[in-house]
Structure 1
Amino acid sequence: MIELISSIPLVGGFLSSVLPFIVVIGIVVFIHEFGHYIVGRWCGIHAEVFSLGFGKEIFNRVDKRGTRWRIGILPLGGYVKFLGDADASSRTDLSAVEFMDDDTLARSFPGASLWKRALTVVAGPVANFILTIVIYLGLVTWTGVAVDEARIGEIPASVAGETPLIQGDLVLAVNGQPVESFGDLATAVSEVEDGLPVTLDVERSGTPLELEVANLRPPYVAGVRPLSAASRAGIRSGDLLLSAGGQALPDIAMLQQVVQASEGQPLEIVLRRGADTLTLEMVPTEEDVPQPDGTFARQVIIGVSVTTYLQPQVRSPGPIEALTISVDRMVGIITGTFDGIGQMISGNVSPTNLQGPLGIAQVSGESAGQGLVNFILLIAMISTAIGLMNLFPIPVLDGGHLVFYAIEAVTGRVPAGKWVDVAMAVGLAMVLSLMLFATYNDITRL
């Protein structure tokens, strides 16, 4: 569907980014706001408005509880306005609260106990984290996890004609070196010099065989980073790169040499996708690249991860194992985010790498074009990022409200309204400034 839309002149390229962006943001924001809404409802707090998007209303419905469900024309966020809130930022409407009777006050957000307000606020980010875990749980259960033994999984169609290996082969030795697990196999393959043939002792359906494989490490594309040179050129996961700039690519090392030597000039890429051979044009870019010592350096790259095409067989994980893996992957996104922020603060990475709405729209479109799994993974990543960002202690964000509640818990008093208003204004200015800066970055990358 996305490929069909993108083929429409002028309009296609725009819609192929905007439609996936609306889907991603719509799902993530709805889950976040629903977390606020449902926990608030459980705590007896009445929600007056549940809005998906801002600005002019294009749809609304009032439910039996009196909550107005609406969709705004700008799909850049959302909010839940509880009884007693002055606006979407959840500032208290002091004039309205002053004239509430006891029953109405008990149903309002300002009238709720501290722990109920805190639970309602933290429920938004928690809902985002739960969404991420559920997505990974589904993907891990569907795709399976690697078995421990050195048994070959599915051979990609792009390299099936290049290797005598077939799915189900059990590798016993690499160049005479015994292997007992797939980790041993991966280590042994990585130690083989690029371009040299490899002798494998395998067991196939109970029969021992000795196979000579010409090359176990051709530049097979295991992943493509959104907004990268490779993504813009149309390279996909599963492609086998055959040549670049007229230079044959027998191995990964040669690909790296050709890309570095290009100095950012266009390269003609010949690749195999399934049984088809395609020719694409790609322009490598200079970017901040992490180094083994933890620092970053500017290098010419194309934005692909290339590796051996050997993949392990998979098995279905148990529910506890699948849940553990899912949580670990979400935690990995969080730690990676903090690491990136730290690198920007230290000056190792340029803040121009920050992406705003336009950048996220581009990533959404490219991820959708790479397939459903990549698109779903993007939703998980954005959901985690939104949940984490909202926990930052910045007024107008959920984390800022939690700071106010912490002050209230310690002092026994609600922070003075005028100071809350000032803090909210400062927080809003900070968030808008960051969004404008990120959007400026997006525009400069177009």
Structure 2
Amino acid sequence: MDLMQFVPMFGNFAFMIVAFVVALSIIVAIHEYGHYIVGRWCGIHAEVFSLGFGPVIFRRTDKRGTVWQVAALPLGGFVRFLGDANAASVGSDGTVSSAQMRRTMLGAPLWARTATVAAGPVFNFILAIAVFAGSIMYQGRTSDPLTFEELRPLPASMSTGLQSGDVMVAVEGVPFDAQARGEASMDDLPLQERLDYTVMRDGDQITVSGPYYFPPSIISVTPRSAADDADLKVDDVITAIDGTPIFAFSQVQELVLAADGAPMDFTIWRDGARLVKTIAPRRVDLPTPEGGFETRWLIGISGTIFFEEQRESVGPFEAVKLGAQGLWDTVTTSLSAMEHILFGKISTCNLSGPVGIAETSGSMAEQGAQSFIWFIGALSAAVGLINLFPIPVLDGGHLVFFAYEAVTRRKPSDRAVQVFMFVGLALILSLMSFTILNDTLLCP
């Protein structure tokens, strides 16, 4: 499904807001449902499950006495348990009898409270794994031997005699390694506009001329990047930069790096039409395999090979394993980025707030349902991680209080909890204000 068909109906800004609200609502609903369902399993009664804040626009009470509601401001949500003084489950409203205390958050055993609070972030992680695993199952993996499924759109100058169903054997006489998708083999290829491909077709081995293996064809555009601001699209093909003809994606990388941030004129082929876009590369901090970051000049595009490969299915167990690995990579990269920002090793522009997330939501939705769903998984992982930070107001802050109680055998005083909550709220509001300033003025 192409989500871009809805853009003319709403307008770009409204489409971005709708995408942001949809992504946030799904993530918040899963997070709060984790609190609700685990609390219910632990014997803690939920009085209200709310998606959003402010005036209620829909409300229904279930057979257990829980009010399920949707409020007018879709910027979060909450579960209010029996006896809670507020939506953050801090303090008691003083209306619960001693007989009912076991059904409240404050009166439940420590293990039940801990499980209920931890369930929100855990459910966010489960959603991330499910999304990553589902994407892997949907996409499958490259079949072996590598077989052409469909040729990507390219200008006539990059045309090829290859066909769907051809099986790759060699490129310029170099045997093709399907397991490595040819990445190792491509290092040995000459950098030239036309290459000879040896393929199996209908039982016969033939050699056909085709474009460079990695042409300057765009497979993805990074949200809020220079390319995104210049309105580059997936399937655009870069044919020239500052008048220099381009036929390989590596040439784009080299010229962008050499420009050192200076504006460049990109000639773009799009559905048979030629456009010229002026784009200035930006310095971007990228994670390295070793766990650090490197700063490079980029415009924010990814390239791909000139055809789509036939793919084979991935089993659910392997997909879940790969999805869990995707979650681990997301969490560790996020923690590394926060550490580098904290110690000034990389720019604070790597920190996004509500405005940046909203813009990214719209950009990912524009790239299609699959990209948008993957973004929801990545954002869910980030939300789960942030909620585990040991900051009062967040779930991690509650877990710190519970750890204190487990060690000292007594709950922290109400006064201490109130002070820490105030400090935590001030910290969160300050961070949110900074990220909004970051998104709008410092790193637009």
Q: TM-score, normalised by structure 1?
A: 0.90
Q: Name the residue aligned to 1:51.
A: 50
Residue correspondence of structure 1 range 41-440 to structure 2 within 5 A: 41-93=40-92, 96=94, 100-158=96-154, 162-183=159-180, 185-259=182-256, 260-261=258-259, 263-265=261-263, 267-273=265-271, 276-279=272-275, 281-290=277-286, 294-297=292-295, 299=297, 301-440=298-437
Instruction: State the one-letter code of the partner of 1:288.
Output: V
Instruction: State the one-letter code of the partner of 1:185.
Output: G
Please say which of residues 30-39 and 67-76 is displaced more in the overlay.
Answer: 67-76
- Shift in Å at residue 319 of structure 1? 1.8
- Shift in Å at residue 266 of structure 1? 6.0
Instruction: State the one-letter code of the partner of 1:50.
Output: F
Q: Deviations over 1:130-159 (max 9, x none)?
A: 112222222222221223434334322337
Partner SS state of residue 236, structure 1: coil
Aligned partners of 1:264 and 1:286 also within 8 Å: no
- Shift in Å at residue 278 of structure 1? 4.4
- Shift in Å at residue 3 of structure 1? 4.2
For residues 215 and 268 of structure 1, the distance between their equivalents in structure 2, rounded to whole angstroms, comes to 19
- Shift in Å at residue 47 of structure 1? 0.9
Q: Structure 1 68/280 Cα, relative in aligned 2: closer, same or farther at 3 Å?
A: farther
- Shift in Å at residue 232 of structure 1? 2.6
Q: Size of the alignment, in residue pairs?
A: 438
Moved over 6 A (4+): none
Q: Structure 1 369/295 Cα, relative in aligned 2: closer, same or farther at 3 Å?
A: closer
Q: Name the residue aligned to 1:23.
A: 22
Q: Structure 1 222/3 Cα, relative in aligned 2: closer, same or farther at 3 Å?
A: closer
Give the percent of matched residue pairs that are identical in Structure 1 and Structure 2: 39
For residues 387 and 214 of structure 1, the distance between their equivalents in structure 2, rounded to whole angstroms, comes to 44
Q: Structure 1 190/346 Cα, relative in aligned 2: closer, same or farther at 3 Å?
A: farther
Q: Structure 1 209/266 Cα, relative in aligned 2: closer, same or farther at 3 Å?
A: closer
Aligned partners of 1:151 and 1:171 also within 8 Å: yes
- Shift in Å at residue 193 of structure 1? 3.3
Aligned partners of 2:169 and 2:200 also within 8 Å: yes
Any unmatched runs of 5+ in structure 2? Answer: none
- Shift in Å at residue 325 of structure 1? 1.6
Q: TM-score, normalised by structure 2?
A: 0.91
Partner SS state of residue 150, structure 2: coil
For residues 83 and 21 of structure 2, the distance between their equivalents in structure 1, rounded to whole angstroms, comes to 30
Q: Structure 1 166/186 Cα, relative in aligned 2: closer, same or farther at 3 Å?
A: farther
Aligned partners of 2:261 and 2:283 also within 8 Å: no
For residues 89 and 184 of structure 1, the distance between their equivalents in structure 2, rounded to whole angstroms, comes to 51
- Shift in Å at residue 200 of structure 1? 2.8
Aligned partners of 2:240 and 2:246 also within 8 Å: yes
Q: Deviations over 1:365-385 (max 9, x none)?
A: 111111111111111111111
Aligned partners of 2:193 and 2:248 also within 8 Å: no
- Shift in Å at residue 258 of structure 1? 4.3
Q: Structure 1 353/50 Cα, relative in aligned 2: closer, same or farther at 3 Å?
A: same
For residues 35 and 283 of structure 1, the distance between their equivalents in structure 2, rounded to whole angstroms, comes to 45
- Shift in Å at residue 224 of structure 1? 1.2
Aligned partners of 1:243 and 1:269 also within 8 Å: yes
- Shift in Å at residue 184 of structure 1? 6.1
For residues 222 and 409 of structure 2, the distance between their equivalents in structure 1, rounded to whole angstroms, comes to 50
Aligned partners of 2:177 and 2:185 also within 8 Å: no
For residues 60 and 234 of structure 2, the distance between their equivalents in structure 1, rounded to whole angstroms, comes to 43
Please say which of residues 180-189 and 411-420 is displaced more in the overlay.
Answer: 180-189
